[in-house]
Amino acid sequence: MRRPTVRRSGVRPLDFLRESAAELSGQPVRSLLTLVGIAIGVSSVVVSVLLVTTVRFQVSDQFDARLATQVVVAPSGSDSAPGPEPESAEAPWRQDGVDRVRAIPSVTAVASTVRSQFDQVVRPNALVDPTAIPETTAVFGVDPLAVPELDGDLRGPGWSAWHAAHAERVAIVPERAAAAHGLQGVEVGDRIFISGLDFTVVGTVGPVPRLPVLETGILVPDTTLIRHFAADATTRRLLVVTQPGAAPDVAEVLAPALLPTDPAALAVSRPVSDVTLRQAVDQNLTNLGLVLGLVVAVIGSFAVANTSLASVMRRYGEFGLRRALGASPFHIGVHVLTDATLLGFGGGMIGAVAGEAIMLGVAANRHWQPVIDVRIPLLAIAVATLVGALAGAYPARVASRIEPTEALRR
Amino acid sequence: MASTPLVEATDLGKTFAGPVPVEALRDATLTIEGGEQVAIVGPSGSGKSTLLNLLGLLTDSSAGSYRLDGLDTTGLSERQRASLRAERIGFVFQEFHLMGPRSSLENTELGLLYRRFPKRERRRRAEEALVAVGLEDRIGTKVDRLSGGERQRVAIARAIVGKPRLLLADEPTGNLDEANSMAVLDLFAALREENTAQVIVTHDPLVADHCDRRITLRYGRIESGGPR
């Protein structure tokens, strides 16, 4: 008996794509809803990852501008350096030492600060209400150039070296402290009372980005603080601002320059290692992006799988017909897989473009420098396509196992 | 030497498995020559559709043998059966089984999709088939917008576009009025000139009378008209 010689039937790969395109366009509402679902998921990932990248850039930028250019000197025995407590409230360094530090080429600003030993009662006038519980606030002794050098927006003349040398009762009132202690509306030339002593306001100041703690108290000359309120020597600091990247080198020479006779009496530190902190932030943000991506990928795959499975059920009769026309179970599986993959690809494309647009919109709104990394949307499209294909695998298996005779009866 | 029949079934049987196995067809022996038009008649549940599915290689037989165009189909893989269906068998169904959102041309092209024909060749042949069934002015029309008779003619065009050796029709006039039924029968008659054998399952005596031969099934057995 002659064995059959059967030519293998087949479908050109392009025809699988054509059939899927025809099927998806033939059910526009269903396809659109699925595409939108996938696109929302993909755009969420793209926005998250791109925003994370952009925000990371912003954060890094701020670290570079602030923390990475900051070195702090404290006397040994202060609350940030080991050793016996300082004997004197005076700064252990002298003005010529500070001048030498200022002369270091990569140093851009130097500011000395010290806090009062006890918080003081501050009032806008001399009247004392015996029934009221007095409000107290910190008083900081700072050098004449400290506020502008700490990037503070000083409004008013401030005090000069003469005021400092004579321990004059002049004060700069930060807006934040004014709001907290009933000094709103205080202007240059007004008088305020600190523990009963009158002080002339020589300036007001908004945020002090490099040393925000100064915003919480009243600022007076270093010498005035020591004379009238007693300084807490353990809080004395010399904040040195450097050019970007120079902080480690400046830190090396700071103590000998400031106090050549006894550099060991000073503790030099950087508030934070910018590299370590940036790495930590980078890692956290990257992990956040990855987790978001994973969550959306899982949700997206269920959406595609659900749509594909529903499509298989709806197209039961069609698959029976295709089998009658010569499709093998493999061909049916590939049809379903192609549909799901196309949905993933289409949703990925729409989502990637939408995600880019949203991210650019947010960045423009927040005045951020957007970080455009084309690899992210491309990767999102690739992942969405892969997720579509994986999600279509089970429905494809179900469809390929449909009995043609049973399907044709439906 | 006598020519080989197109269809040669010997003691063909089909039993559906289940808690209570159902023997839908047994000992069906029949031959059909190329170009012959055969009606299969019988009451509901007599095994007509089962026989049609076996002849169309849509299901496996449980017993007997079946040779199509001289090829023994026993033990063929599903892929080989699919290839044989694509090349040598055409189907026409009572419910048309057309793809609604697509045009007459696209539906007809489907009959060639699994034969690796290039798109342009599929389109040319589909247009010829639609002209052959009298739908030259409905080529681009979505089948949703066609009448029942027109839809069945699209289904016939899809079945004959690949020039099959065997055309299997399950109640092809079941949903049509008399005029459209006659039009379909005229199309089938024209296919005889192409040497296409036709097996038509029908309850309609008018259709059965048009055929060369009538095979009557009852209780899963061929009662009359099997072997020539």
Q: How confident is the model at residue B211 (pLDDT cuts 50, 70, 90)?
A: very high
- Look at B101 and A326 and tell me if their CB atoms are within 8 Å: no
Closest residue on chain B to A24 (Cα): B101
CA distance to partner chain B, nearest, from residue A57 (Å): 51
Q: How confident is the model at residue A65 (pLDDT cuts 50, 70, 90)?
A: low
Q: How far apart are CA A312 and CA A320, in angstroms?
A: 11
Res A394 pLDDT > 50: yes
Q: Which positions ≥6 away from B145 have C-beta within 8 Å? A: none
Res A233 pLDDT > 60: yes
- The ranges assigned to domains in chain A are 13-63+277-409, 69-272
Locate tokens 């699209």: which residue?
B154
Token pair recorded at residue A146: 């400290």
Q: How confident is the model at residue A105 (pLDDT cuts 50, 70, 90)?
A: confident
Res B220 pLDDT > 80: yes
Of A2, A11, A404, the CB nearest to B70: A2
DSSP summary character for residue B35: T
User: What's residue A4's pLDDT?
Assistant: 47
Res A197 pLDDT > 70: yes
Contact B73/A at CB under 8 A? yes
What is the Cβ-side half-sphere exposure of residue A104, based on CA atoms within 13 angstroms? 25
Q: How far apart are CA B93 and CA B152, in angstroms?
A: 8
Res A86 pLDDT > 60: no
Once rounded to an integer, what is the mean pLDDT over residues B136-160? 93
Residue A287 burial (C-beta neighbours within 10 Å; 0-12, 13-18, 19+): exposed
- Check residue A138 and give left, alpha or beta (phi > 0: left; psi -120 to 50: alpha): beta
CA distance to partner chain A, nearest, from residue B70 (Å): 8
Once rounded to an integer, what is the mean pLDDT over residues B116-145? 92
Res B228 pLDDT > 70: no
State the maximum Cα–Cα separation within chain A, in Å, rounded to a whole number: 123
> Beta-carbon neighbour count of residue A358 at 10 Å?
16
Classify strands A266-269 and B89-93 as parallel, antiparallel or unpaired.
unpaired
DSSP string, A130-179: TTSPPPEE-EEEE-TTHHHHTT--EES----HHHHHTT--EEEEEHHHHH
- Look at A408 and B58 and tell me if their CB atoms are within 8 Å: yes
- Look at A9 and B99 and tell me if their CB atoms are within 8 Å: no
- Look at B116 and A323 and tell me if their CB atoms are within 8 Å: no
Once rounded to an integer, what is the mean pLDDT over residues A143-147? 77
- Do A157 and A203 touch, CB atoms closer than 8 A? yes
Helix, coil or strand: residue B203: coil
Q: How far apart are CA A247 and CA A244, in angstroms?
A: 7
DSSP string, B52-118: HHHHTTSS--SEEEEEETTEE-TT--HHHHHHHHHHHEEEEETT----TTSBHHHHHHGGGTTBT--
Preferred mutation among B113, B122, B161 to probe A, highest tally of A CBs within 10 A: B113
Q: How far apart are CA B188 and CA B168, in angstroms?
A: 11
Contact B144/A at CB under 8 A? no
- Look at B82 and A331 and tell me if their CB atoms are within 8 Å: yes
Res A135 pLDDT > 50: yes
Once rounded to an integer, what is the mean pLDDT over residues B34-58? 93
What is the distance, to the nearest Å, from the Cα of residue A318 to the centroid of all Cα atoms in its chain? Answer: 53
User: What's residue A103's pLDDT?
Assistant: 87
- Look at B87 and A405 and tell me if their CB atoms are within 8 Å: no
Most confident of A43-52, A241-250, B45-54: B45-54
Q: Measured at the alpha carbon of residue A386, what is the angle toward residues A389 and A390, in degrees to the nearest 5?
A: 40
Q: How far apart are CA B150 and CA B5, in angstroms?
A: 33
Q: How many CB pairs under 8 A join A and B?
A: 108
Q: How far apart are CA A113 and CA A335, in angstroms?
A: 74
User: What's residue A87's pLDDT?
Assistant: 59
Once rounded to an integer, what is the mean pLDDT over residues B15-25? 90
- Do B116 and A8 touch, CB atoms closer than 8 A? no
Of B70, B83, B119, the CB nearest to A326: B83
Q: Which positions ≥6 away from B104 have C-beta within 8 Å? A: B130, B135, B138, B139, B140, B141, B143, B146, B150, B154, B157
Once rounded to an integer, what is the mean pLDDT over residues B48-61? 94
Res B102 pLDDT > 70: yes
Using CA atoms in the order A369, A370, A372, A376, what is the torsion angle rounded to 10 degrees?
Answer: 140
Locate tokens 């106090």: which residue?
A259
Token pair recorded at residue A384: 């969405």
Identity at A245, one-letter amino acid code: G
Of B59, B114, B119, the CB nearest to A326: B114
User: What's residue A67's pLDDT?
Assistant: 62
Res A62 pLDDT > 70: no
Q: How confident is the model at residue A1 (pLDDT cuts 50, 70, 90)?
A: very low
Q: How far apart are CA A229 and CA A217, in angstroms?
A: 14
Of A4, A26, A327, the CB nearest to B102: A26
Once rounded to an integer, what is the mean pLDDT over residues B154-178? 91
Q: Which residue would you say has higher pLDDT here, A405 or A291?
A: A405
Instruction: State chain A's mean pLDDT as an integer.
Output: 82
Res A251 pLDDT > 50: yes
Most confident of A110-119, A276-285, B162-171: B162-171
CA distances from B138 to A293, B108, B154, B157 (A): 50, 12, 9, 12
Q: Which positions ≥6 away from A379 have C-beta within 8 Å? A: none
Q: Using an 8 Å CB-CB cutoff, list chain A residues near B53.
A: 405
- Residues of chain A with pLDDT > 90, as a percent, come to 15
In chain B the domains, ranked by start, together with CATH numbers, are: 7-224 (3.40.50.300)
DSSP string, A221-242: EHHHHHHHT-EEEEEEEEEEEE
CA distance to partner chain A, nearest, from residue B220 (Å): 17
- Residues of chain B with pLDDT > 70, as a percent, come to 98
- The total number of residues shown for chain A amounts to 410
- Do A193 and A125 touch, CB atoms closer than 8 A? yes
Q: How confident is the model at residue A267 (pLDDT cuts 50, 70, 90)?
A: confident
Backbone dihedral angles phi then psi of residue B37, each to the nearest 5 degrees: -115, 115
User: What's residue A83's pLDDT?
Assistant: 56
Lowest mean pLDDT among A142-156, B19-33, B107-121: A142-156
Res B178 pLDDT > 90: no
Once rounded to an integer, what is the mean pLDDT over residues A197-212? 88
Chain A residues contacting B, CB < 8 Å?
A: 1-12, 14-15, 18-19, 22, 25-27, 317-318, 320-331, 403-405, 408
User: What's residue A94's pLDDT?
Assistant: 79
- Look at B71 and A408 and tell me if their CB atoms are within 8 Å: no
CA distances from A4 to A8, A99, B68, B76, B77 (A): 12, 102, 9, 9, 11
Res A64 pLDDT > 60: no
Res B137 pLDDT > 60: yes
Helix, coil or strand: residue B217: strand
Instruction: State chain B's mean pLDDT as an integer.
Output: 91
Over residues A319-347, the pLDDT tens digits come to: 899 999 999 999 999 999 999 899 889 99
Q: Using an 8 Å CB-CB cutoff, list chain A residues near B109.
A: none
User: What's residue A160's pLDDT?
Assistant: 86
Q: How far apart are CA A250 and CA A269, in angstroms?
A: 11
